[in-house]
Every structure is written in structure tokens, then in C-alpha cells.
Structure 1
Amino acid sequence: MRGRTLFAGPRPGLLERPLTLLLLAAGTAIWLLLQPETLQALPLAWRLPLVGIGAWALGSAFARPLTLEVGEGWLWRQAGARWSRLALWGFALVVGGLGVWG
């Protein structure tokens, strides 16, 4: 995994670059800090899984730039997993959609 940095890797797509994911995670986290009622309006049956997925997606997005330096171990594999990046984009879209239409 040599040659990967925060800004680029071996030609990842724009939506998969660590800096893009980090900015998306930061924006989503700031949105939730400023507008917590976005998720509070949901029923508990929807809110709990969404909070769990969001915690994992935001955590792995924030940890990914740090794991690029180490390049090994369980956290490195999980933070770089494709489903982890898709969960972040999905969570951000759900939160943004709830914020706009809610």
C-alpha cells in the first residue's frame, strides 16, 4: 500500500479519496451537532440502527487517514473496506435528506 496519502492514492475515484471522505464525515458530524432533531424525529426502531451505522461510518472515515500511515491490521482493513465508504455516503444522504425534507 505504498504511495497512498491523504490526498491521493493509486488513482482512486473522487468519491473514494480519503480527504473527500473525511470532509463528508466532518460535514455530516457538524450537521448533526447543529441539528440533532434531524434524527430525534425518527421512531426509535429507525433511529437506533441509523445511529449505529452512522457511528461506524463516521468513525471509520475519521480513522482512515490515520490507518493509511500504518498500513496493516484489522482497523486498516475495516476503514478501507468498500462497504464502509458506502455506509458513509448512505448515512450522509439519509441525514441530508431528513434535514432538507424533515
Structure 2
Amino acid sequence: MVIEERRYDPLVSLLVAAGLAVWVLWQPELVREMAWPWRTALVGLGVWALGAAFFRPVAMGRGEGALWRLTATPWSRAALWGFALLLVLRRLLG
């Protein structure tokens, strides 16, 4: 049962990453209006989180390896949800 639930985890991450990517493309002022240090940190987090989420299904299909270990770590998935939370807070707080 646990194995079946984990099969959908890459799909959820991929859909969230795609949604965030479209949202940032649609409203770039979420990131553009920030100060340089914060913007640089947010862009770095976004690149890692979205890149790992998009690459995770490919890495899982190839099996065990260095890239699979990097994309399957809990902090990699936490980075995606943290990036999403930061964008939502940024939108809500102005």
C-alpha cells in the first residue's frame, strides 16, 4: 500500500512545479519587486525546487543513482513546498 501511494508523489511534485512555473511566468512581479539579496535567494531556491521536481520522474525511472538520490531526498521535496509557500505569502502580503 505504501509503495502504491509513493507512485503518485512524483506526479504531484511535477504538477505543483508546473503550476508554480506558469504562475511565476504569468506574474513575474512576485520576484521582480524584491530586493536583490532576497530575489537572488528566491531564484536559487526556485531553480533547485522546480528543477528537481521536473527531473524526479526521469530519475526514478532510471533507478538508483546519484541524481535519483538527490531528487528523492525529503529536503528536495520540502524545497518545492517551501518555494510554493513563499510565493503564496508574497502574493498575499503584497
Match of 2:56 in 1: 64
Match of 1:3 in 2: none
Instruction: Say yes or no: does 1:29 pair with 2:21.
Output: yes
- The change in CA–CA distance for 1:93 and 1:25 in structure 2 (over 3 A counts) is same
Instruction: Say yes or no: does 1:95 pair with 2:87.
Output: yes
How many Å apart are 1:12 and its aligned residue?
Answer: 4.4
How many Å apart are 1:61 and its aligned residue?
Answer: 0.1
Runs (5+) with no aligned partner, structure 2:
none
Contact between 1:25 and 1:58, CA under 8 Å: does it hold in 2?
A: yes
2: CA distance, partners of 1:50 / 1:82: 19
Runs (5+) with no aligned partner, structure 1:
1-7
List structure 1 segments (4+ residues) > 3 angstroms apart after TM superposition: none
Instruction: Say yes or no: does 1:73 pair with 2:47.
Output: no
Match of 1:5 in 2: none
Match of 1:4 in 2: none
- Output the amino acid matched with 1:82: P
Match of 1:10 in 2: 3
Greater helix share, structure number: 2
Match of 1:53 in 2: 45
- Output the amino acid matched with 2:90: L
- Output the amino acid matched with 1:43: A
How many Å apart are 1:62 and its aligned residue?
Answer: 0.2
TM (normalized to structure 2)?
A: 0.89
In the comparison of the two structures, how many residue pairs are matched? 93
What secondary structure does 1:86 align onto? helix
Aligned-pair identity (%): 47
How many Å apart are 1:100 and its aligned residue?
Answer: 2.8
